[in-house]
Each structure stands twice: as structure tokens, then as C-alpha cells.
Structure 1
Amino acid sequence: RITLKSGTVMHKSKLPFRYWFITMHLLTSTKKSFSATEIQRQLGHKRYHPIWHLVHKLRQTMGKRDDEYVLAGQIEIDEGYFSTEMPQSEKDKPLKRGRGSQKKSKVLVMAESELVESPKKGQKPRRVGYLKMKVIDDLKKETINDSVRELTKDVQQIDTDYSTSYVYLKGFVPKHNSKVIAKDKVGEVLPWVHISISNAKSKFINTFHDIKPEFLQNYLDEFCYKFNRRYFGEALFGRLLVACVSYKNEFRYKYG
């Protein structure tokens, strides 16, 4: 016996189809996002946890769809530090400051970025293509190299700052431009990763509270999914619906 939900993101869900469709519409109707609390209010559902699971299953599906695509051509790379809850294992330890803080999660950000010939007034010097954001454990050279190999193909050029994390990229990339970048020049040299990090942080701060580090990737997946389909307009709902019936979601988490 097979149900309509079998083999889809809704597999074994007891929530009605209406909840899924309304949530898909809400998530795709705006550049911003919705917290699970707000979606629960919109749906009029009494319990929070099932709605929280629903939303995260949809975000994970967005990530699975984007995993099928890799970056190519000219690429900008930089790292971002996103505020998250302190891991349970670190709560008894003194709080570190700066980038090494336990309340900061490291994210590798990569964007296809092609130079624009004779840009018009107000136009960015580079034209952006697809975007990838991946939570990483550290900034070691091996971690960066493995991530770049996984997320790219047929790369012609990579632009980065002068961090030692990127020194070995030239070993498997035809051209690697690495330079010391002043803070006020980051927007000119690496414009799209800089804009993406800034916009993602702003949206998370305004919409969500106390993101757990283990779920940060789901929120980043939603941000990238919408960014990579920024010209789809109303068709975005249909594309998400196709993704939802294409993947059997295995998201499991006991909330609380």
C-alpha cells in the first residue's frame, strides 16, 4: 500500500497537505523568511514542534536540490562568521572573543563572479551567477581544498584574500588570484560573497533567534536556494513543489 506522501519530503508526516502547500507558498513568496513560530500562527496549529520539523524538512530539501549543481568559471571565495548558540559541550568553558568564539560558526562562501566589461554607473564590477554557502569545522587548508573540489567543476579562476587557508588552491585551479584586501576594498574585490554574507546575517538576525549551530546549514540552504532562483518570480513555488516530490527527506531531530 502506497500513500501520496510516500517517497516525498512529506513521507510519514501526519500533517495535512494544506499545511505543506501553505508553508511552501510562504517560504517562496518573499526574499525574506518566516520563523516556525510565525508559520505556526499562520496555520493556526496548536503545537510548535511539528511545524518546526515541517519547515526544516523544506529547507533541507532546498539544500538537496542545490547540491545537484556545482560552480564553474570565475569564482569568489571568502569565509563568514555567523552567530549561533554556544554548543552544549562548550558552555562550561570561558567564552572566547572574536572569530574563535564558541558563538561563531564558520561558513565557506563561494559565488560565480564574472567581470563586467565597461560596467554602467552604479553597476557592480562583477556579474553574479550561483552561490554556495557551506558550514565548515575549521579553516585548515585541507578542509578548504576538499570543499572547493566538492562544490566546483571546470573552474578557470578563483579570487580570494591572502589568507593561508587558500594557499594550496593553485595546486588544482588554473588561476588563483590572492591579494591582501583592505576592509574598505572588500566590496570591490570580492563584491558578491561580501554582499551575500551581509544579507544572510541581516535576515537571520531580523527573523530568527538563537540558531543552533547544527541547523545553521538548513537556514543557509534556504538563503542560497532563493538567491540562485532570484529571477523565477511566482514560478518558485512550483519549482519547490517539484523538489519536494523528488526527495524522500530523512530529517530526524528530537526537539528540546
Structure 2
Amino acid sequence: MNLLDFYRQYPDESSCEEALRRFRERHDLFCSRCGGLRLSWNPSHRSWTCMDCKHEMTLRSGTVMQGSNLPIRDWFAAMYLLTATRRAISSKEIQRQLGRKRYQPVWEMVHKLRDVMGKRDARYNLHGDVEIDEGFFSTETPEAQKNCPLKRGRGSQRKTSVLVMAESSFPDTPSDKKRSTPKIVGHIKMEVIDDLKASTETPRIKQATDGKANATTDGSSTYASLEKDGAVASHKAVVMDDKKKVGKVLPWVHIAISNAKRSILDTYHDIKAEFLQLYLNEFCYKFNRRYFGFRLFERLELCACTYRAEFKHRIY
């Protein structure tokens, strides 16, 4: 389905409202007040009424669209544009496609969708063999440090630390295709972190895995207590004096970091550190569903109907 097909399928707001109603009713709609499943659709009010507690729910209640004044058709189109390509897509590009004059509402809408992408991915734990390392992404210099001398390396004001984890294992049947690594990748996770201390990373690794994972890391002391603290079932630390060895021991972590940097920084001239996690949410969400094809739009629609965003209105 291309963009023209999308607009043929959803020609106006009423078609989008009807599609949203049918979609929510197919996916276990329940009363937000009492949890009841007996809901009756009221066409004149465009809402459901709970037959048990008489609570009324609108089409947008309990979704990422709740409280938004933008048409549902704009939300659908933004979801389609976000999932139609693997590359990152900017809010300005979506604004142009929607024909919107104001940038701010579109920017907030897209960030809310990225927020719920992260919430959906947080439900899944990594398992099996897991690679773990950190990446350092270029971001804007914080306002308070703009007059300070610019540091170099990972401690630079323009670098934000990200904990990166990837399911990585050897296939049962080796592939004949020429690949950069013989390993295959499953799901990945990326989380912005304040520092590289064990007290910061270990709880996040423990939350991201199923507790039975077999972790492979570099020789950093940050990971020394992963197995002892119960974050993983086993831990293999590989001391790497040669940087070329990193790509062989932790291939998919570094492929993911490289692809995320290229995707994000090729699309945006500069991003604030406070928004980096949202862009990483989008990258990981699409990477983890890279084989979904056009079904990815429907999966994001389910995600948008299931979660409310924590991202709040901001004015710049």
C-alpha cells in the first residue's frame, strides 16, 4: 500500500473514525472505569456506553490520541508514514505530507507515537544469547555547557551514552549468503543512560532480559557483577585490545549502533539529548518488526490504541 492507496482507503475523517471503531472493537475493548466488556456503541454521540456502570468512552479514550485536537485521519497518516519506510522520517516531512501549516502539533503527535512504540517494546524481554555494549550518540550541547570548552571522546558534552542490547546467535543451518557476520539477530533494545556505572546499567539489563540470558560483553568492570546480581544466567567477558575484534565478538550491537546513528543523524541536523530516547524507540520498534512489511501499520495502530503517551506538551 502506497500513500495514494492509503488516502483512497481513508478518504475522509468519517472513514477513519469508522475504521478506528471497528479496530478497537476487534481488539478486546473494555470499560476504562469498571473493566466491563459489555459496551454499546452510540452513533449519535460517537462513543461507547458501558452496560454495567454507564460510563461513556469516546473513540480516543485510553489511546495515544486522547486529548488531541488533530483529526484521526492525521494520526492514521502519521502512523502510515512512520511505518512505510525503515529510515527515520522527520516531523517536518510528515507535516508537508499532511499539508499542515503549524509544525508544533505535528511534532508533538509524532513524538507521542514514538513514546508508545517504546512502551510496546518494553513488554518484551530479550532471551538466549545477548550482546551488550554502549554506544555514544551525537546530540546538542546542553544550554548550560555551551560556553564551556568542548571535551573530546565519550566524555564530550555532545555525546549521550546509550546502553545497547541485542539477541545474537548462530543459526542451526549456516547460510550460503555472504554476510558481515555468521550470527543472526533477534530483538534489540537501546536505552539512554546517565553514566556507565554498574549501578546504572545492571538494573536496566536485568529489566530488559528474562534472567536466563547468556550475556557477552567487553572486559569493562561495569559488567563484572551481572551474573552475581542475577541480571543474566551466565556472562562471558572478552577483553579486546584490538578494535577489529569488537566486530567479531559483538557484531550485532555495533551494527545496530551504526545503523541507528546513520538513520537518525542523516535525517536530523541535530537533536536534543532529552529526545534521543524517542528517536531510538522508533528505530528499535521498526528494527524488531523488520519482517512485518505493510502489516506494521496495523501493529502501530494497535499500539496507539493500547497505550497513552507520557510525552507532554512542550513549547519551544
Normalised to the residue count of structure 1, the TM-score between the two structures is 0.96
Deviation at 1:168, TM superposition (A): 1.3
Partner of 1:174: 233
Any idea what the Cα deviations from partners look like across 1:115-159, whole Å, max 9, x if unmatched? 235633524322211100000000001111111111111333110
Partner of 2:272: 212
Moved over 4 A (4+): none
| Equivalent position to 2:206, from 122, 138, 149 | 149
Determine the C-alpha separation between the residues in 1 that align with 2:313 and 2:70. Answer: 17
Letter in structure 2 aligned against 1:250: E
Any idea what the Cα deviations from partners look like across 1:29-83, whole Å, max 9, x if unmatched? 1101211111111111000100000100000010010011111111000100000
Determine the C-alpha separation between the residues in 2 that align with 1:254 and 1:52. Answer: 10
Determine the C-alpha separation between the residues in 1 that align with 2:198 and 2:151. Answer: 23
Determine the C-alpha separation between the residues in 1 that align with 2:141 and 2:80. Answer: 32
Q: Kindly report the root-mean-square deviation, in angstroms, between the aligned alpha carbons of the 2 structures.
A: 1.4
Determine the C-alpha separation between the residues in 2 that align with 1:255 and 1:108. Answer: 29
Determine the C-alpha separation between the residues in 2 that align with 1:32 and 1:51. Answer: 19
Contact 2:115–2:310, Cα closer than 8 Å, also in 1: no
Partner of 2:58: 3
- Please state if 1:36 is matched with 2:91: yes
Determine the C-alpha separation between the residues in 1 that align with 2:175 and 2:310. Answer: 47
Letter in structure 2 aligned against 1:143: T
Determine the C-alpha separation between the residues in 2 that align with 1:223 and 1:99. Answer: 22
Determine the C-alpha separation between the residues in 2 that align with 1:185 and 1:16. Answer: 51
Deviation at 1:100, TM superposition (A): 0.2
| Equivalent position to 2:190, from 129, 133, 144 | 133
Partner of 1:198: 258
Contact 1:75–1:155, Cα closer than 8 Å, also in 2: no
Determine the C-alpha separation between the residues in 1 that align with 2:209 and 2:258. Answer: 23
Q: Secondary structure at the match of 1:251?
A: coil
Determine the C-alpha separation between the residues in 1 that align with 2:66 and 2:313. Answer: 15
Deviation at 1:203, TM superposition (A): 0.6
Determine the C-alpha separation between the residues in 2 that align with 1:162 and 1:118. Answer: 30
**Aligned sequence identity (%):** 55
Q: Secondary structure at the match of 2:77?
A: helix
Deviation at 1:25, TM superposition (A): 0.5
Partner of 1:84: 139
Partner of 2:20: none
Partner of 2:307: 247
| Equivalent position to 2:168, from 113, 116, 121 | 113
- Please state if 1:163 is matched with 2:223: no
Determine the C-alpha separation between the residues in 2 that align with 1:120 and 1:34. Answer: 33
Determine the C-alpha separation between the residues in 2 that align with 1:136 and 1:156. Answer: 21
Determine the C-alpha separation between the residues in 2 that align with 1:187 and 1:179. Answer: 12
Contact 2:126–2:213, Cα closer than 8 Å, also in 1: no
Partner of 2:7: none
Q: Secondary structure at the match of 1:249?
A: coil
Q: Secondary structure at the match of 1:105?
A: strand
Determine the C-alpha separation between the residues in 1 that align with 2:211 and 2:101. Answer: 50
Higher relative contact order (CA 8 A, sep 6+): 1
- 1:156 to 1:244, Cα distance in 2 relative to 1, 3 A: closer
Larger gyration radius, structure 1 or structure 2: 2
Normalised to the residue count of structure 2, the TM-score between the two structures is 0.78
Partner of 2:76: 21
Contact 2:189–2:284, Cα closer than 8 Å, also in 1: yes
- Please state if 1:229 is matched with 2:270: no
Determine the C-alpha separation between the residues in 1 that align with 2:284 and 2:157. Answer: 24
Determine the C-alpha separation between the residues in 1 that align with 2:57 and 2:219. Answer: 55
Partner of 1:186: 246
User: For structure 2, which runs of at least 5 residues remain unmatched after alignment?
Assistant: 1-55
Letter in structure 1 aligned against 2:91: A
Question: Number of residues paired by the alignment?
Answer: 256
